[in-house]
Structure 1
Amino acid sequence: MRMAVSPGSFKTMAVYVVKTEELTAKNIEAMCAVLPGSRQDCAARLAKPVKRVESVAAAYLAFFSLVCGDIDDCIVYPSLESLLEMQEEAAKLASKIGWHVGEYGKPFPQGVDVNGKFFYVSISHSGGLVVAAVAENPVGVDVQQNPALSKHQMLRIASKFHASEQEHLNSLPESQLSAEFCRLWVCKESVMKLCGKGLSLPISSFRIVGDSCMLDGNPIRLTVHPLQD
């Protein structure tokens, strides 16, 4: 499991991580009750129960992280107790600001004023992990499991990457391909979430180099973390 975060500049941020296996049905019900109706409806439309749980937990974690307002460079695994302790504050914020998304699904693309402080948030969920990144500047986060794909399938997908990334992946031994493909993919997803363009931004239009990339002439810092699933 890999997580990539793009803070968009060299400022600090905090990332909150929750494992859905630690949440009971009652916990999810309580979290769902906090969410604005439009976000509840969005989760309810998902066909798979596991995806509905992840969707509810991710949206709740967005409000939780905004209420916490702690942007020290850190990864936080909040306890279930601390998550639910903030339920009232999260509900007040959710009632005040609703659930606004941009054209391509980015939550609160213009940022959120929380008690006089301005924050941006990004969320992702995959394989039972839910993450929310919060910062004082635009931010993008993505989490993915190493893909259960063949070499041929990964390289076929990577054919849409930047030419130099394709060359890099083609040069790797098969034993390293899955992890590196996943690293590049989560980095690209986090950049697309950062700029709010989603998959409308061609993934061949920018190149991941180490812990950064250039987008529209601007440097973007990337941080990749292995996570326990």
Structure 2
Amino acid sequence: MTAPWIVALRGLPDEEQAQRLRRDLPDAEWQWIARLRQPQDRLRSLLGRALARRLLASRMDLSPERVPLTTGLHGKPLLAAAPGTAPAWHFSIAHSGDQVLVAVGPHALGVDVETCPDSVDVALFRFATGREPDRSEVFRAGGSEAPTLDTQAFCAEWVCREAVLKACGQGLLIEPGRLRLQACGQGWQQVAGPPEVCGQHVRLLWTSPAHCAAVSLPAPRDDWRLTRLDLDAWLAGPGTPT
């Protein structure tokens, strides 16, 4: 399968499940995760890395712990490749709350998932979008003069921009508000702005009052695939879907 494939898992592993997933990682990778201070951060990182390794392993005919991962520019995790060559596969990991999202494909890509915030102030909205909120994005709660912004609309904008920056390996080195998104059909938006992001395309995977998620690819495609599963169902299944 060469089409981009995105797998979203809901739920975090318990201790027994975490022990099983740790076997998918080399010791050095687990030691890095173990240094994270918050237990839920460790579980999210463990699940994301294990899922990415299993998806790559199924394409490379390797066991998950033998998939050769490395770190690229600005800390982006990458599949190792021979000097002067591009990796055969690319992947991206995102997680928020009880959601873990991994994408694998033949070209550079990025995914992001975020929990919708309880509130958004105008300054954060400007930073994330590079513009002022329009009337459809502002509410007046209880007759108050203080604006309350549409948190789901904000989250949908944020994940699109984060997915683009992750695809390009930029993280927050570029302010998300510097990106300009223009609808170009079938749910895709073309990206303009700094040279590092020009030509990328992004689309929402889903949007809800709880979570939003997006994927960014070098060009629009209609053969991408999204699989959403509960963690327990995935671990209890016949094996990692391929």
* TM-score in same-fold range (> 0.5): yes
Q: Does 1:172 align with 2:123?
A: no
Q: Deviations over 1:170-209 (max 9, x none)?
A: 6523387111100011111101100001111222321233
**Stretches of 4+ moved more than 6 A in 1?**
109-112
Amino acid at match of 2:90: Y
1:188 to 144, 161, 174: 161
Counterpart of 1:134 in structure 2 is: 104
Q: Does 1:204 align with 2:162?
A: no
Distance 1:192 1:46, change over 3 A: same
- Bigger mean CA deviation after superposition, 219-228 or 185-194: 219-228
Q: Deviations over 1:110-137 (max 9, x none)?
A: 779xxxx921000011111111001110
Within 2, Cα distance between the matches of 1:200 and 1:144? 19
Counterpart of 1:16 in structure 2 is: 7
Distance 1:187 1:111, change over 3 A: farther
TM-score of the pair, normalised by structure 2? 0.68
Counterpart of 1:3 in structure 2 is: none
Q: Which has the higher contact order (CA 8 A, sep 6+)?
A: 1
Within 1, Cα distance between the matches of 2:136 and 2:81? 41
Counterpart of 1:157 in structure 2 is: 124
Measured after TM superposition, the shift of residue 218 of structure 1 is 1.4
Within 1, Cα distance between the matches of 2:18 and 2:59? 23
Gaps of 5+ in 1: 1-10, 71-85
Amino acid at match of 2:123: R
Alignment of 1:2-41 (within 5 A): 12-21=3-12, 23-41=13-31
Distance 1:42 1:50, change over 3 A: same
The structure number with the bigger radius of gyration is 2
- Bigger mean CA deviation after superposition, 176-185 or 37-46: 37-46
Q: 2:79·2:89 contact (CA, 8 Å) conserved in 1?
A: no
Q: 1:187·1:224 contact (CA, 8 Å) conserved in 2?
A: no
Q: 1:184·1:208 contact (CA, 8 Å) conserved in 2?
A: no
Within 1, Cα distance between the matches of 2:153 and 2:54? 32
1:226 to 207, 210, 215: 207
Q: 1:14·1:135 contact (CA, 8 Å) conserved in 2?
A: yes
Distance 1:39 1:20, change over 3 A: farther
Within 1, Cα distance between the matches of 2:127 and 2:43? 31
Counterpart of 2:63 in structure 1 is: 89
Counterpart of 2:44 in structure 1 is: 54
Measured after TM superposition, the shift of residue 89 of structure 1 is 2.2
Secondary structure of 1:159's match?
helix
Within 1, Cα distance between the matches of 2:162 and 2:202? 13
Q: 2:164·2:202 contact (CA, 8 Å) conserved in 1?
A: no
Within 2, Cα distance between the matches of 1:53 and 1:143? 16
TM-score of the pair, normalised by structure 1? 0.71
Distance 1:170 1:196, change over 3 A: farther
- Identity between Structure 1 and Structure 2 (%): 23
- Bigger mean CA deviation after superposition, 127-136 or 24-33: 24-33
Gaps of 5+ in 2: 140-147, 212-242
Measured after TM superposition, the shift of residue 30 of structure 1 is 1.9
Within 2, Cα distance between the matches of 1:109 and 1:209? 31
Greater percentage in strand: 2
Count of matched residue positions in the alignment of Structure 1 and Structure 2 = 189
